[in-house]
A = this chain, B = another copy of it.
Amino acid sequence: MHDVAQIAGVSLKTVSRVINGESGVSDDLAARVSAAVDQLRYRPDERARNLRQFDAPPTSIGFALVDVANPFFSAILRGLEEAARERNCLVLSGSSDGDPARQDQLIETFISRRVAGLIVVPSSGGLGPIAAEIVHGTPVVFLDCEPAQHDSDIVRTDHFGGAFAMTQHLIAHGHGDIAFFGDDASVFSAGLRIDGFRAAMAAARRRVDERWVLTGRHTPAEWQALITERLTSSRRRPTALVTAQNFVTMGAVRALHAMGIEQRVAHIGFDDIEMSDVVRPGVSVYPQDPTRLGQVACELLFRRLDGWAGPPERTILTSTIVERGSGEIRP
């Protein structure tokens, strides 16, 4: 910028004015500055610019997620990108892999870059004491969870209701021996989904066989192996499966097909998966709307950044079971 000013023979302030398109610069000077900018290929430094600006519109927000390679999260990210772009805002993102330490590190990275706000899908219940300290005054929107400690806006799918409906759907089709596979209950969304499953079973006076309830964090391939093992380990086997997450659902579909029992064991998954309509039988699911989740999260965040100071708001997106065949198999 200094060089630009020198070449154009003007002051720094005049260069600044031209760059920012402020009015009140004579055409002559403006032209000279523009020429110098082109000549030097000058690009203003966004970091320095923001250093002195306090009331400037937000220039970046941070998104701490679990795994971008999971289509659920990448779809959310896409939704965020779109919503943020309308405000000329860049989304910084990173994967925590469900590791709280890594999540803390990510959030620290975002904060140290002075993001205007944060959107977080927590690894476990919420932020953890360290991250909570770090975040301090920065607005946060929690996605797909409800941390106990934090007073923030929230947008999430109806985990409990979805799992309840899925289980009820299987029960309505005559099932009593239903297995549940999903993330660890320490993850907020996973906990509610298990609760929903148990509640629906209890409401129908069905006993939950604990050998058929399996939770943890695994890849689709690991889930396939685990589910295969559970379905073969005992003499009796469940007549239906509830899978609480897309990677689990993929593993289950593969397991059922590999065992050749996909037409005999009913199955419903939480969250949709690719090709679920083409597989035979089609995979019945309780779909989420990740793009919408991202958009709503962005709206809530920007409202805060615009100064809105109302009480924390909670948006819960509900959905309806998509029947494709696998969930309608009878025992």
Chain A residues near B (Cβ < 8 Å): 41, 43-48, 50-51, 67-69, 71, 74-75, 77-78, 81, 90-95, 108-109, 111-114, 133-134, 136, 250, 253-254, 257, 273-280, 291
| Chain B residues within an 8 Å CB radius of A250 | 274-275
Tell me the bound Cα distance from A95 to B294 in angstroms.
15
| Chain B residues within an 8 Å CB radius of A46 | 109, 112-114
| Chain B residues within an 8 Å CB radius of A90 | 92, 94, 109, 113
Q: In whole Å, how far is A301's beta carbon from the nearest beta carbon of chain B?
A: 18
* Oligomeric state, in copies: 2
Contact of A275 with B277 in the complex, beta carbons under 8 Å? no
Q: In whole Å, how far is A150's beta carbon from the nearest beta carbon of chain B?
A: 15
Tell me the bound Cα distance from A109 to B45 in angstroms.
10
Residue with the highest number of chain B CB atoms closer than 10 Å, among A93, A108, A133, A136? A93
Task: Pick 18 A–B contacts, CB within 8 A, sort by A.
Answer: A43-B111, A43-B112, A43-B136, A44-B112, A45-B112, A51-B51, A69-B77, A74-B74, A78-B95, A90-B109, A90-B113, A93-B93, A250-B274, A250-B275, A253-B278, A254-B278, A275-B279, A280-B280
Q: In whole Å, how far is A192's beta carbon from the nearest beta carbon of chain B?
A: 26
| Chain B residues within an 8 Å CB radius of A276 | 275
Given A81-B95, A253-B278, A254-B278, decide whether A48 and B45 contact each other with a Cβ distance below 8 A.
no
| Chain B residues within an 8 Å CB radius of A71 | 69, 71, 74, 274
